[in-house]
Amino acid sequence: MKKAVWRSVLVYVLFSVVMSLYIFQWADTSIPSPYQGTAADPATFMTEQQLLLSEDYSKVRNVLYFLTTPYEWLLLFVLLGLGLSAKIQSWSQMTVRVQALQICIYLFWMTLFTTILTLPFKLYGYNLSKEYGINVQPFQGWMKDFMLDFWINFFITAIIVVVLYSLMKKSAKRWWLYAWFLSIPFTLFLTFIQPVYIDPLYNDFYPLKDKQLEAQILSLADEAGIPAAHVFEVNMSEKTNAMNAYVNGIGDHSRIVLWDTTLNKLNDQEVLFIMAHEMGHYVKKHVFLGIISYLAVSLAGLYLIYRLMNFIIRVWGSRIGINHTHDIATIPLFFLLLSLLSFLFTPISNTVSRHHEIEADRYAVELTGDQTAAVGSFQELSKSNLSQVNPPLIVKIFRYTHPTMLERIHYLDTYEFKEIEKK
């Protein structure tokens, strides 16, 4: 197993070199000739400096992503392969007798181990965004959010893992099915409470200050058939220069949220288009479709993890000091398989997400009838976020939940209004 660990380290190093060469040297990110000179060509709406910054910033961020994800897999494999997981399990069992507390102790040390060893990547990402003028948050504030992330994720993960491993112990053959059934109300609960109880831990949310603009947005919502009493604004300008807007939550806790940076940088018509886009997600029921898709995929994923864990423990369990699937020491294996399967499924989920975004774009331009605002909002978004307008194919497949800016701007710029049918 030690040889396997060292081979994994070597594979990781080689992978990092190849991905870096691909993104920095081999990938073609130039604008195709049919798009040159059009509204989708960044040369028509970005300065030369913005073009250089967006390319450089995006390349480094993309490399950082493709280095961080397999690095996290490597850390989990090291815990298993060097027998550290079995040792932490023994220590937690000697500390307390209750299994739930044993799991919490184990999970704390595992989480602390991976968090500390991935911290350099996160710090580099923070400093990178500061250097390029995207992040304006002081280090103290960033560390506060980082620690808040740690404890919220640990608390939620501890609940999930305690329940999961209790099911594994009670039903070795059906735990994956029972876990899936329990995940349904838990997922809905988290989706329901996130806008009201979790998001405000990070930022201040309040009804839109510009009442005239709010009235226009609510009028647009009424035209779209959306019951809405408020549009929420969040003070992101103290943390970032980037722009964003989103819709989250379900039922009475559904929220349409605008970053204040979006309000500061876009004119009213562009803001209305952005809001119409978010309303499109609501009207097209993308949140509910996302939840349903997630639950369907998670059922298949849990079953695959069940089969793979049994196989791995049966073949290699004795080499890593693990005897049963329900042993606490298999927690890194569960998360490793979960992360690998999630990564492999990412191209499919991103494709579906990009389709939903195009649907929302189409809905927004149909509802507002304002093609100029639609194009202008994405051009401004590209500049503020230093977005790479035409990213490499592999980056698009694995990272882009939205169509590229080249695709979105071109689609809206060439949209034919004779197809418009007001909903």
All structural domains of the chain with their residue ranges: 2-202+285-419
pLDDT of residue 358: 96
pLDDT reading at 260 higher than 70: yes
**pLDDT at 251 (0 to 100):** 65
Residue type, 407: E
Residue range 270-298: mean pLDDT, rounded: 90
Reported as a pLDDT band with limits 50, 70 and 90, residue 226 is confident
Selecting among 41, 260, 361, 407, the annotated active-site residue is 361
Q: How far is 271 from 217, CA to CA, in rounded Å?
A: 9
Q: How far apart are CA 385 and CA 378, in angstroms?
A: 10
Task: Categorize the per-residue pLDDT at 187 as very low, low, confident or very high, splitting at 50, 70 and 90.
Answer: confident
Strand pairing category for 205-207 and 245-248: unpaired
Active site (annotated) includes residue 278: yes
Question: What would the two tokens of residue 293 be?
Answer: 């898709």
Residue 423, pLDDT score: 41
pLDDT for position 418: 56
Asked whether 207 and 233 are in contact (CB, 8 A), the reply is yes
* Segment 322-380, tens digit of pLDDT: 889 999 999 999 999 999 999 999 999 999 999 999 999 999 999 999 999 999 999 99
- Predicted confidence band of residue 221 (pLDDT cuts 50, 70, 90): confident
Write down the mean pLDDT value for the chain: 91
Q: Where does the pLDDT of residue 103 fall: very low under 50, low under 70, confident under 90, or very high at 90 and above? A: very high
Residue 412 has pLDDT above 60, yes or no: yes
357 annotated as belonging to a binding site for a ligand: yes
Find where tokens 């100029």 sit.
Answer: 372
What was the pLDDT predicted at 60?
Answer: 96
CB 303 within 8 A of CB 181: no
Percentage of residues in the chain having pLDDT higher than 90: 75
Token pair listed for 65: 């992503």
pLDDT at 419: 47
Model confidence at 219, pLDDT cuts 50, 70, 90, reads confident
Q: Which residue has the tokens 């059906």?
A: 174
Does 277 carry a binding-site annotation? yes
Q: What is the pLDDT of residue 256?
A: 78
Contact 281, 363 (CB under 8 A): no
Residues 266 and 377 sit within 8 Å (Cβ to Cβ): yes
Residue 36 pLDDT: 95
When pLDDT is averaged across residues 250-275 and rounded to a whole number, the result is 86
- Higher pLDDT: 342 or 423? It is 342
Q: How many CB atoms lie within 10 A of CB 66?
A: 20
User: What's the CA gap between 411 and 413, in Å, rounded?
Assistant: 6
128-155 tens-digit pLDDT: 999 999 999 999 999 999 999 999 999 9
**Residue 204 bears catalytic tag:** no
What is the per-residue pLDDT for 237?
Answer: 92
* Predicted TM-score of the model (pTM): 0.90
Q: Read off the pLDDT of each residue in 258-285 and give the average, rounded to a whole number.
A: 91
**From 41, 233, 278, 407, the catalytic residue:** 278
Query: Rounded to 5 degrees, what are φ and ψ at 234?
Result: -125, 135
Residue 420 has pLDDT above 60, yes or no: no
Q: How far is CA 300 from CA 37, 168, 294, 303, 306, in A?
A: 46, 17, 10, 5, 10
pLDDT of residue 229: 65
Annotated binding residue 355: no
Structure confidence by residue, pLDDT tens digits, 65-91: 999 999 999 999 999 999 899 999 999
Buried b (16+ CB within 10 A) or exposed e, 99-112: beebbbbbbeebbe
- φ/ψ (deg, to 5) at 327: -60, 140
Task: Estimate to the nearest angstrom the gap between the alpha carbon of 38 and the chain centroid.
Answer: 31
pLDDT in tens, 3-45: 889 999 999 999 999 999 999 999 999 999 999 999 999 999 9
